[in-house]
Every structure is written in structure tokens, then in C-alpha cells.
A and B are shown apart, each in its own frame.
Chain A
Amino acid sequence: MQQGKQAAGGRLVATGLRKQYGGVFVLKGVDFTITRGRVTGLIGENGAGKSTLSSIIAGIRRPDGGAMTIDSVPYQPSGPSDALDQGVAIIHQEIKMIPELSVAENMFLGRMPTRRGAVARRSMHDQARAALDQLGVRVDPRRPVAGLSTAAQQEIEIARAIIRRPAFVIFDEPSASLGNQETERVLEQIELLRAQGSGVVYISHRLEEISRIADDVVCLRDGRSVAGWEAADVDRDAMIRAMVGRELAERNVGPPPHRDRTVMQVRSLGSTRFTGIDFDLREGEILGVSGLVGAGRSEIVRALAGADRFDTGQVLIGDVPVRIRSVQDAITAGIVMVPEDRKTQGLNLDRRGGENMTLPWESRLTRSGLITDRVVRDTQCRMAQELDIRGDLDAPVGLLSGGNQQKVLLAKWLVRTPKVLILDEPTRGVDVGAKDAIYTIIRSLAASGVGVVVVSSELEEVLLLAHRVLIVAGGRQTGLLDRAEATPERVMELSVPAGRVPVAQR
């Protein structure tokens, strides 16, 4: 429509791409092809080079070696906007929007249409609306981004990328912060792009999404392309083998049996965000909490952990009612929470592993009133051993891999064994190997008698770990199912109450 040359079909071919950071090769000669009208799934563990590869193709970084062509014409983007001019767009994992600006302004940031030197608002709004309509997103382009859900922002991000009808679009883990319904919407939009003739790269840790959407699958490991398939002939296990370079043990081990003694009772808990939450948690039990994004999952557990206030209801530890008005109260009662976002809620990225671990416990760890380096180091060594954390814990934790960061975060909350451990999205953004290690840790904690609450937007994860599943929809508890009854269909059914269509589905 806008740019003639993009209408021509063809391929973006990268050959022998190399990239190093500070002497470490992240890409060691990668060949990669994107074909118009096809979706290429890109998989690999954290640190395999997926993001580096996609940022080179999108012009964000420059390769140290290798070449790229579009339809046999050399393609050397000088920056992201140049790449966009040449028909290559990227949708980032983390949404970067300016909350105060309107939806349309965000979509046209840096290249707003002008008329006699002033921003041509009407034309901008019309174009924005057209792009949003095309994706079936019902958001007023004139409203500010502030207050929109993550899912809605993700959709705007996609609209922003496709507004110029790019020939090639890269999705860098768009589903990482989305629930099942929202992810489904993204996948539908990708199908739409494919039908319109764009070549799409889809990066995700969730292999079922890859199987569902991709025409081709490419696997990176340690900066090399190690495998490629037509999606029709690859199964999940083959993908995992290629990613980790080894067989994973049988994944579907059930949770260890729990005990009969009740560790926590939650009685008709309510706040402005949820009402009528009511359940018991037994020693050694793993309770899964499932629901759509925005259903109130995180809000409920945050209230239990003292991070937010609740207005009504009661929490009992054993048989004793406890007052939870702050995180400190919850810790004292024996309830701790591993928060959802390790980078903004869980860890001080600039500080060392040990310092992060001791932080909640320092007033309990003093020796003659003091926290010495020794206390910190002892804690760090002990936890590193218990949770099998590899990597340099004397370096700022921000430098560790996602999996190790998540383990440090777990360690932080296990320095003292809690009565109740709440995990909000315990495996977000970690690779398959680390995920398995974290599952093992969760199971063994439960086996030792800790009551565990797991919140996850991945239904598969909940069903894999939990003895029972608590389902919330629209801030209400719609079900509490035993493991045997909790089929994916039944859980989904309860997550979307009859007669009410979730916002994301429209």
C-alpha cells in the first residue's frame, strides 16, 4: 500500500552472522532464512542467541560478521527505523510505551505524520484506527496508554509494527507476559499476517505455541543453528532435545503425597479486586491457582503475602488467626512470596546473590547484632548448594542467566523454611532446563511439609505441579478442583464463566 517494493515476494536470507560481546561469541556463524507467507519458529534456551539474532535482523544491533540480503539485494540496516523502511519490523518481548501519550501517538512515535509543521492528528488517528481494526483490536487510538492491560498494550505494539505493512515481522517472545487467551489472540494475528503475505519469525519458550503456529522451526544452541524442521515433522521431545542437547527426565511426575494437617486457612478473603476466596492448604500440598490474565490471581496471593491490603476475610496459620498488614507481618507468620517479576519486584539486580538472599532475613540473621560479610557469604554458599545454583554469585545478579536469577530469587525466600510458599509465575522467562530444576525444588519443598501455592498463566504448569487447582475468574473463585478432575477443558470452562466473554476474546 505505502511502499511498492515490499509487495514483491521473496526471502530475507542471513548467512554466517557472527556477534560478540566483550570477547564472548553470542552468535558463531548463523544462517537463517525468513520466507514471505511462512512463519518460522525460533527456539533455544536462554542465552542461545535468539534475541541477538533477531535484534541484528531488525537493525538494533550490527553483526560483527556475515551478511544479509532481501530478495538477493544486500540488506544492511543502519538502525531500527532504517530496517522498518526496508520492510523489517520487530515486536519486543518487553513493551516499551510511554504511558502518558495516546495510543496513536505511541504507534507513530518518532515518525508522526505532519501537516505544515504540526502533527496531523486526524490522519494519525485514522491510520492508527485502521491498523487496530485490521487486528480486531477495539481500543480508542486517542486514549492514553496508561491504564491499558499488558495484553492490550501488546496488541498495540503489534499494530504499531504492522502499520507500515512490513514484509518481515519478528515476534520476540510476545507471549511471555500473556495468558492463554491473550496468546491465542496474538497467534491469530500472526496467522493474519501470514495470510497477507508477511514472513514472520516467532520466538517463544512455549513449544506448544511453536507447534501450533510455525511452518518451519529453527533451533539455536550456544550461538549456532543446531536443528531445523518443517513443523509438520517435529515433535515436542525432539525440540527439547535440540534445545538442551540432552534428554530430559520424565517430566510428568506427580506431586508427592501431602499430609493431613492444615497449614493455612483462607476464609472469604476479599478486597476491591477480588471477593470470596476460600480455601485450606495442607502441609506438603501444592495448590495451583489458575485463571485468565486480569482474573485476580496475582492480587489474591499478593494480599496473602502482605504486599497489598485485603479488606475482608481472615487468614489462619494452623488454627491461629494472623494479622497481615505488611510483608513483614506475613514473613513473621511464615508466609513468603516469590513475586511475579524478578527484575522489578524480586531482585536487586545491581547487588550480589548473597545480599539479595539475606535481605528479608537480616534482622533474624544477625550475629551479636551485626550482619557481617561472613553471614552473607555463609548464606550464599548454603543456598547455592541446596538449590544447585551455578554461576558467579559474587557478581551482580543482573549478570546471571534468567534461570539462575530465578533460582537466586527462590533461594532468597528459602533462607528460612516458610510454612507457606507462594510462587507467582515461578518459571517465567527461564529455559527448559532451569524450569525442570525449579519444578524439582518445588516438589521437594512440598515433600518436606511446606504448603505451596503456585500461580501460573501456563495451565500446563499448574496441572503438572498441583494437587488441587483453584480457579478464579473476574475476581471470584469459580472452582477448586482435585488433580483428577482438573482437565484442561474443565479448568478453561471455569476460567471463562458462562455468559461472560472475556475482554481479550471479544
Chain B
Amino acid sequence: MSNITGNARRTDPAGPAAPTEHPATTVTARKPDEGPRARRLLRRLGRTSGPLAGLIVLVVVMSILSPVFLTTHNLVNILVQVSYVGIMAAGATLVIILGGIDLSVSSTLGLSFMIVAVLYAQAGWPFPLAVLAGLLLGTLIGVMNGVMIAYGGIQPFIATLATMFASTGLALYVTNGTPILGFPDWFQALSRTRFIGISLQVYLMLFVFAAAAIWLRFRPAGRSLYAIGGNEEVARLSGIRVRSLQLRVYAVAGFLAAVAGLVVGARLDAAQPTAGNSTDLLNVIAAVVIGGASLAGGVGTMWGTFLGLLIIGVVNNGLTLLNVSPNLQPVVIGAVIILAVLGDGRLLRTLRHRRGRTAPAA
């Protein structure tokens, strides 16, 4: 390819495309590779600079208001508290970049760990096998979502709403609504084991985020999620296997929900049929949205979601330290969501766009 047009230009020097003749040359001509590195960096930081600044402000304010806030113990605690939400949020980020939504993650968390508990405590399965079954079930719920959405043409909101109801109900049904207690000691110990002062579940969450970020940024399949979320038809016509990727991403989201279920189970040493409630789901979506992803698809990063997650963690932790009623915490999270959306200019852009299209009636 490299020499084709080159040849043409050489054999046809006065050709119509000879660049020097073009009147626009002086205005727009610029070697495409001389784009300043700094600007490119800024552009990349652009989307997450809002959440990052917000987080820094929050941390500064909290450390002034509460002497306990900036202690290692408290900071580690925040990470521990958000770890299972974070694991789900990593999956949700992929789904949302794809242009979808997964409402079933938190109920998948509940059901999959409930199955682990039932198989271990009531059916007498070896614990590792029960864990495998739980992970498999989570993945299976994700696959079901994916099949309905990618191949059945059902809207993601509706498909996952249905699986959310179904798995919540099933979790209650298999145990008649009673919690199951008592797991192997080593399992419970997992949540207490610390490495350099930080418990293993935090490392697990960080690993999930790092793996997802690398996949999303550097692997062809991960990168094509942006293309699918941006415009599915363009992606399909570019040779991307849209449906199979959608299926895979929902499966991953289901799998990660099951992993989050194990984290919660190890921490509580109990399988609560009510685990994975709507607050968890909303926190997952809030983290992704605060992190700069767009529910319209095609936009979002793992780093942004991670910042969004920390903001939620810091807000909840801070309000608790300040003795604010836990019932008010969601109110603050709601305000943060709107601030985040305002902060990264999405709303302003939308307004400006609207005004540009239809002239204001005087």
C-alpha cells in the first residue's frame, strides 16, 4: 500500500490533489504526528480530571472535619468496604461502555453465594467444588443476559431486570428466606488475612481493575467495546463480532458478581438471601457514572470507575465518621452524581448542543 499513491503522485505531479495548490493548506496543514504530547496527555486526563479533583477535595475536607479520617486504618477500611462493589463495578463498566446496562449484578451476587452455601452446608459438597458451582452459576446468569440481549434482541434494561427479579426470588426460595451460617475456617480467614496491612479482598479488587483496564485499553477485543458502544453498525461493518462480544461481556459481569459474592460471604461468614440488595446495585452504577462513563455507551474508563468508587467510599465513610444518619448517605451520593455529570461538562455540552440546533424562541 505504502507506495501506491506515492507512485501516482510521482507520475502525475500536476495531479488534482497536489497539496501545494490547495487553498486550505495554509490554514489546516499540519503534520499529523506533531500533535503536542502534552495536549494529548491533557485530553486523556480530561475525562477523569473531574472525578480526580472531586476526590482530592473530598479527602481534604474530610481530613479537616474528622481527625480519624486520614489514619491508615480508616483509609484501608474504606478500600475494604468498597471492594465487593468495586469488583462488580469493573464488570459494569465494561457493560456500560458497550452501551448496555446490567441490573442483575447484585442479585446475581446474592444468588450465586447462596448456592455455594446450600451446596456446601446442605448438600454436603466439598467447599471448593461448591465455590466453583457458584462462580459457574454467576457466569451462567450473565450468559443468559447476553443471549437475550445479543441474540434475542431484548433491551438490556428489560433482560437484566427480568434476571434480577428471578435470581432474587430464587435466592429466597432455595433457603426459604433463612440465612445459612458456618463455612470452613480458612474461607473466613481469607477476609482477615492481610498482606502489608491490607486484606486480600482489596488486592483481588485491584487485580480485577488492572486486568480489566489492560484488556480494555490494549487488547483488540476490549478496545472494540468502545466501537460497539459508539455505533453498533459501524462496529459490525468493521468486522467486529458484536454479538459474541456482547455475550462475553455480560458473562464476565455475571462471573465478577459471583466473585463479589464470595468476598461478601467470606466477610460475613454467612449467606444472606437478602445479600446483594438494590443499594449495592445503585452504588455499582453510581461508581461507573461518577467515573465519567456515559450510559449512552462508547465512553468510560476503568480508572474513572475506580475514582468514582473511591468517591462513594469516602463519602459514606466520612458521613459515618461525622455521625450523619446513614439514611442521608444516599442523598449525598445522589448529589455527587449530579455534580460529577456537571463537572465533566457532559450536561453543559448537551445544553449547548440543544441550543445550537434550535434557535431560542424570543
Chain A residues near B (Cβ < 8 Å): 59-62, 78-80, 82, 244-246, 248-249, 251, 305-307, 326-328, 330-331, 337, 339, 344-351, 353, 355, 359-360, 362-363, 365-366, 369-372, 377, 380-382, 384, 386-394, 412, 414-417, 433, 436-437, 439-441, 443-445, 447-448
CA distance A59 to B4 in the complex (A): 48
Q: Are A327 and B239 in contact (CB under 8 A)?
A: yes
Given A78-B362, A345-B233, verify A359-B240 contact (CB < 8 Å).
yes
Q: Are B234 and A445 in contact (CB under 8 A)?
A: no
- For A348, give its contact among B22, B234, B360 (CB under 8 Å): B234
Q: Are B239 and A326 in contact (CB under 8 A)?
A: yes
The count of chain B contact residues (Cβ–Cβ below 8 Å) is 54
* Leading 4 A-B pairs by shortest Cβ distance: A444-B8, A362-B220, A436-B16, A437-B17
- For A347, give its contact among B4, B29, B234 (CB under 8 Å): B234
- For B230, give its contact among A246, A348, A370, A372 (CB under 8 Å): A348
Q: How far is the CB of A385 from chain B (nearest CB, A)?
A: 8
Q: Are A248 and B16 in contact (CB under 8 A)?
A: yes
Contacts of A251 in B (CB 8 A): 16
Is B196 part of the contact surface with A, judged by Cβ < 8 Å?
no
CA distance A439 to B17 in the complex (A): 10
Contacts of A62 in B (CB 8 A): 359
Write out, one digit per residue, whether chain B residues 11-50 have a CB within 8 A of any chain A CB (1) or not (0): 0101111010111110011101101000110010000000
Is B73 part of the contact surface with A, judged by Cβ < 8 Å?
no
Contacts of B359 in A (CB 8 A): 59-62, 78-80
Is B5 part of the contact surface with A, judged by Cβ < 8 Å?
yes
Given A327-B236, A394-B40, A441-B5, verify A78-B361 contact (CB < 8 Å).
yes
Is B167 part of the contact surface with A, judged by Cβ < 8 Å?
no
- For B298, give its contact among A347, A350, A369 (CB under 8 Å): A350
In B200-241, the 8 Å CB interface with A consists of: 218-221, 223-224, 226-227, 230-231, 233-241
Contacts of B234 in A (CB 8 A): 344-348
Q: Which residue of B lies closest to A61 (CB)?
A: B359
Is B351 part of the contact surface with A, judged by Cβ < 8 Å?
no
CA distance A248 to B22 in the complex (A): 10
A-B contact pairs, 20 of them (CB 8 A): A245-B23, A344-B231, A344-B233, A348-B227, A350-B299, A360-B239, A366-B220, A369-B219, A370-B218, A392-B35, A394-B40, A416-B1, A436-B16, A437-B17, A440-B5, A440-B8, A443-B8, A444-B5, A444-B8, A448-B7
Is B71 part of the contact surface with A, judged by Cβ < 8 Å?
no
- For A249, give its contact among B14, B40, B218 (CB under 8 Å): B14
Q: Are B35 and A394 in contact (CB under 8 A)?
A: yes
Q: Are B1 and A417 in contact (CB under 8 A)?
A: yes
CA distance A345 to B232 in the complex (A): 9
Contacts of B361 in A (CB 8 A): 78-79, 82
Q: How far is the CB of A192 from chain B (nearest CB, A)?
A: 30
